[in-house]
Amino acid sequence: MTLLDLTASPRSASVTAGPSWDSQPLRYLDEHGAPVEGGLRPSAEILDPATLLRGYRALRFARAFDTEATNLVMQGRLAVYPSCRGQEACEVAAVQALRVEDWLLPTYRDSAALVLRGIPAVDALTLLRGTWHCGYDPKAWRTMPQCTPLATQGPHAVGLGLAAKLAGDPVVALCLFGDGSTSEGDFHEALNSAAVYQAPVVFLVQNNQYAISVPLDKQTHAAALADKAVGYGMPGVRVDGNDLIALGTVLDAAVRRAREGGGPTLVEAVTYRMQAHTNADDAARYRRSDEVDQWRRRDPIERLATYLTALGTLDAAVEGEIEEECAAYTARMREQFAEEPGYHPDEMFEHVYATPTPRLLEQRELVRAELGDATDAPGTGTEQSR
Amino acid sequence: MTATTAELPAANAPAKPATVTLAKAVNTALADAMAADERVVVFGEDVGALGGVFRVTDGLTARFGENRCFDTPLAEASILGTAIGMAVYGYRPVVEMQFDAFAYPALEQVVSHLAKMRNRTRGAVGAPVVVRIPYGGGIGGVEHHSDSSETYFAHTPGLHVLTPATVADAYSMLRQAIDSPDPVIFFEPKRLYWSKAALELPVSTGPIGTAAVRREGRDATLVCYGQSVPVCLAAAEQAAREGVELEVLDLRSLVPLDEEAIVRSVGHTRRAIVVHEAAGFAGFGAELAARIAEKCFYQLEAPVARVTGLDIPYPPPKYEHWYLPDADRVLDAVDRALAA
């Protein structure tokens, strides 16, 4: 089974055969937004102007959301926020590759993917606001809780994929990782198991070059993270993570392959984390600003905008509409996060087990009694979150 | 089946309950659960064609097929994580960790995900996974085959931690564990795998979280679980010959803990000796001793005693008889408690 339709592409031989040995990422648009000669050949469906415009809107939306979340943390409305600025094409492509019945397994850096999936911003940012751990119903959204212990979501993706396969459901699990995750044992175990089970899973590594402060060359000695796929017996593809068209092409193929029983794929998206790890980090201690400037010129949004403008699909009027949509969304976010969140200490005891143990009931009474002694206990007395 | 032709009952007589090993009781519970609910799947290392290194999953693949009972790659974290994903999807996975010490690679999946799934999602998603772990020493196992690791799990909120000591409990408690909406760490006392008793099915030995009095007595309570239960019963038998009546309380469930049963028994006997194989320092017995002191302080005639494994890495087979709490060590503690 061929992974990608690359007929007439000089790369077709290496990629359609399975694992990619080529460390040059697959690309459709160059850094200036012009189609690369001899690059990927996306399907007519992906190149359809309406589809591309939908992708562009999503990119702009992701950037607006990310910017607003960054503002909210500075205003003290969020406890912490790991930004995905510069990686929006990966967020958009991952979500757009999936159907509603497919599963998405996000990390803490993928809040934008959550809202792109349709999860309300307040629920998506619950973890980072600190009002609970996961603020949405994973089953309702087919989206697992954002994972913080690196790579541990990998085996969950295998389980979801294997479950779908055993049930005979045409459902795919798409698992997001960062480059740091590829050093973890669970990454290896997940990819190996997925391949053995031929589970319908797509592993998307957003190689943003840094794990907090540690650059990729201290994370791996491999020429490319995608090369790791060879050892698992699955295709590995290295794609430009700032090129939405290339990403969409690769992920569509990988998801289709998984859905049709072809097994898992490892996709490495080469991108860059434009912001520090979180607001609590100081990136100036470990990387140079000229490196950041270099990547700023490869911005995924501007690249697609240039291409769409040249096509005549995007003009000032459409830009204006998108701008308005984004402004309305972020204004609503500001309003929602300005409201004091409701939370009650009883909830700490309610979900540890389906039925609280006698011991937890004792401790709940202890906390209630303590609150009975206190006046104006913060965070108590509202029912909003119940 | 061990019955010979001569022992077979007449066709119209009520069937005599079969005498089975504890391992067979676990096997039967797995098979019955799989027959009752097609969401139940069993997987782990060597559980398929081999039937597990202790033969606990014997025949399950042949009977239910490779989609219901299957071998996994040798990767405990992945086994656990796969089970979590399958449980979220709607399955009821029962996974085997081959030996106590080989479950440690899966600890992060257990602590960070399995135990927390219901809580972190505000009750939206549970993780009904059963993790079977053969545990404990006394089988002549070489390094890493004899650990008592229950405290690591009992210390983690969100898990139920069960350990049967009888054939009937092995069956009944495993069926309950598989039916539970919450994750259960099911510790199987591997030294007792070949102990035998009559097993009449169906059997239900009481809900999760209840202890059982295995022997009644008035002079002191031996609080124990797993393979320490037969040790305590042997100690009580010896003590009885000297006119000392020991009560033996088999906890069955470490989490939730049946504090009522402990308080009832110790309130009556006024002396408590806590017995387990795991190292004593910061062990589960410390929790038991503290709870007894908190709840029974004014009834106690003697300090709560602990008889446990030594605070050393589990020793080599030639040394383990010095390590394992035996009836004599229990009786020495009883003597001290009675002299107090």
pLDDT digits (tens, 9 = 90+) for B27-69: 999 999 999 999 999 999 999 999 999 999 999 999 999 999 9
Please provide the DSSP assignment of A338-356 as one string. HSPPP--TTHHHHSSSSS-
Contact status of B191 with chain A (Cβ, < 8 Å) = no
For residue A197, the surrounding DSSP H or E stretch is helix A185-197
Chain B residue with minimum CA distance to A132: B120
Distance from C-alpha of A236 to C-alpha of A223, rounded to nearest angstrom: 13
- CATH superfamily membership of A12-338: Thiamin diphosphate (ThDP)-binding fold, Pyr/PP domains (3.40.50.970)
The predicted model gives A80-105 an average pLDDT of: 98
Chain A residues whose beta carbon lies within 8 Å of the beta carbon of residue B67: 166
Question: Exposed, middle or buried: residue B15 (CB in 10 Å: 0-12, 13-18, 19+)?
Answer: exposed
List the single residue in B with minimal CA-CA distance to A156. Answer: B85
> Across the interface, do B84 and A155 touch by the CB < 8 Å criterion?
yes
CB contact under 8 A, A354 and B209: no
| Sign, CA torsion B147/B153/B159/B161 | positive
**DSSP per-residue letters across B195-207:** -EEEE-SS-----
Q: What ipTM was reported for this prediction?
A: 0.94
The per-residue pLDDT for range A41-92, each reduced to its tens digit, is 999 999 999 999 999 999 999 999 999 999 999 999 999 999 999 999 999 9
Q: Looking at residue B9, what is its pLDDT? A: 47
CB A263 within 8 A of CB A199: yes
Q: Which residues contact B297 (CB under 8 A, 6 or more apart)?
A: none
Confidence of residue A375 (pLDDT cuts 50, 70, 90): low
Q: How many CB atoms lie within 10 A of CB B93?
A: 29
Flag if A192 and B75 touch (Cβ within 8 Å). Answer: yes
Largest CA distance in chain A: 76
Give the gap in angstroms from C-alpha B242 to the nearest C-alpha of chain A: 39
Confidence band of A383 (pLDDT split at 50, 70, 90): very low
Q: How far apart are CA B75 and CA A189, in angstroms?
A: 6
What local confidence, expressed as pLDDT, does residue B12 receive?
58
Residue A190's closest chain B neighbor by CA? B78
User: A152-180 pLDDT, tens per residue?
Assistant: 999 999 999 999 999 999 999 999 999 99
CATH 3.40.50.920 segments of chain B: 212-339
- Top pLDDT among A133 and A380 is at A133
> Is residue A8 pLDDT above 70, yes or no?
no
From first CA to last CA, the distance across chain B in angstroms is 50
Question: Rounded CA gap, A113 and A124, in Å?
Answer: 9
Amino acid at position A285, single letter: R
- Class of residue A93 by CB neighbours under 10 A (exposed 0-12, middle 13-18, buried 19+): buried
Distance CA A202, CA A96 (A): 13
Catalytic residue status for B145: yes
Q: Which of A:4-33 have CB within 8 Å of B?
A: none
Quick: pLDDT tens for A332-368: 999 999 998 888 999 999 999 999 999 999 999 999 9
Backbone φ and ψ for A374, nearest 5 degrees, come out as: -95, 155
Which residues of chain B are within 8 Å of residue A145 when distances are taken between CB atoms? 117, 120-121
**Predicted local distance difference test score (pLDDT) of residue A23:** 60
Are B85 and A351 a contacting pair at CB < 8 A?
no
Contacts of A358 in chain B (CB under 8 A): 256, 259
| Residue among A137, A160, A347 minimizing CB distance to B121 | A137
What is the number of residues in chain A? 386
Q: Kindly determine whether residue A137 and residue B209, on different chains, have CB atoms separated by under 8 Å.
A: no
Percent of chain A with pLDDT over 90: 87
Give alpha helix (H) positions in B216-326: 228-241, 259-269, 284-296, 320-323
From the candidate CATH numbers 3.30.450.20, 3.90.1580.10, 3.40.50.2300, 3.40.50.970, the one assigned to the domain spanning B5-199: 3.40.50.970
Segment A189-217, tens digit of pLDDT: 999 999 999 999 999 999 999 999 999 99
Q: Cβ A158–B257 below 8 Å, yes or no?
A: no
Q: Is residue B119 less than 8 Å (CB to CB) from chain A? A: yes
Q: Where in chain B is the domain with CATH 3.40.50.970?
A: 5-199
Give chain B's residues under pLDDT 50. Answer: 1-9
Kindly report the nearest CA distance between residue A332 and chain B, in angstroms.
25
Q: Residues 342-371, chain A: which have Cβ within 8 Å of B?
A: 347, 350-354, 357-359
Which of A107, A127, A143, A162 is the mutation pick for testing B, counting most B CBs within 10 A?
A: A162
Residues A192, B113: C-beta atoms closer than 8 Å: no
B259 touches chain A (CB under 8 A): yes
Q: Looking at residues A223-237, what average pLDDT do you find? A: 97
Q: What fold does the segment set B212-339 form as a domain? A: Rossmann fold (3.40.50)
Which of B113, B144, B145, B321 is catalytic? The answer is B145
pLDDT for res A20: 39
Q: What is the per-residue pLDDT for A374?
A: 65
Is A384 part of the contact surface with chain B (CB cutoff 8 Å)? no
B38-55 exposure pattern, b = at least 16 Cβ within 10 A, e = fewer: ebbbbbbbbbbeebbebe
| Pure H helices in chain B | 22-36, 60-64, 76-89, 107-108, 117-120, 150-154, 167-179, 228-241, 259-269, 284-296, 320-323, 327-339
Chain A residue with Cα closest to B158: A352
Kindly report the nearest CA distance between residue A200 and chain B, in angstroms.
13
Q: Domain segments of chain A: what residues? A: 12-338, 343-386
Nearest residue in A to B108, CA atom: A152
User: Can you give the pLDDT at residue A340?
Assistant: 87
Residue B42 CB contacts under 8 Å (≥ 6 apart), including other chains: B30, B34, B57, B60, B68, B69, B70, B93, B94, B95, B96
